[in-house]
Structure 1
């Protein structure tokens, strides 16, 4: 549990690319969306008896480590002892985070569309970033491939196979393979 109070508590969550796309958010990340233990946006927020909210997986790991070390369960923020380890789903917060994610993904899709459009004056770096985002979206959820097709990004990615940059061509091919 050492190090968990300084924000370095790792549950094996997001990849480097996820972190990169988190930084590209159009709408800012609200502090209430971040787990105090992992410092990452929560997917399954739960509240303790004292009202503090955490990512389910992170707080379960915290409680497990308390148990394994023979200590009574405490709140990692207040360090106060808890009477119960009951976790109450924070449905409202989860729904708000999901809506926020959807708005940001839509805005990021628009940015990718602009970057990959034929005749675009975007830099190689912008094009590579757009291709990485398309890959990230495909890997995040299978149904996102349908979203990418509807946004007409597939023909744009195919068009990138003709780009003068070898890096862009390779990334486009890699993207189509996802």
Structure 2
């Protein structure tokens, strides 16, 4: 049974290390649960830990890229990070919005890594949100009983809506690097 959990962990971790166009983790958890004898709470917990670990790793990878992007872009994302972290309430609101939403989170973690945002609280909020959302998806999964993991992966990679959302998120990430946060919000607003 431990091998099944480790396999699930490896799959979810790998998907959450992808910078874009990965299948939704909830679908893996639900379909894995429907096709195995593992209890859903164990699947949800394993999936949430693996997803949070993967996104944390993705953000760290993008943090390492900060030194390799043009200075203007690095300055812009650093200012955005300072602006977001200026008030704890801003950070919690932003985290709450995406932690429970079905919106792809890869680009948010990429932006957090580039902006130098403190990743542990960011990842903890993501983990808590994913525990809740994965539990909800798993509990309402009866309609997926006849689906296969391959069909779900194929749909997530070929669905025009899923592709459009990923492209929009990538464009927003690029826009984050291009927007002069200090110019529009004032230098004082982005200073720590």
TM-score by length of 2: 0.28
Give the structure with the larger helix fraction. Answer: 2
Pick the structure with more strand per residue: 1
Structure with the greater relative contact order (CA < 8 A, sep ≥ 6): 1 or 2?
2
Normalization by structure 1: what TM-score?
Answer: 0.30
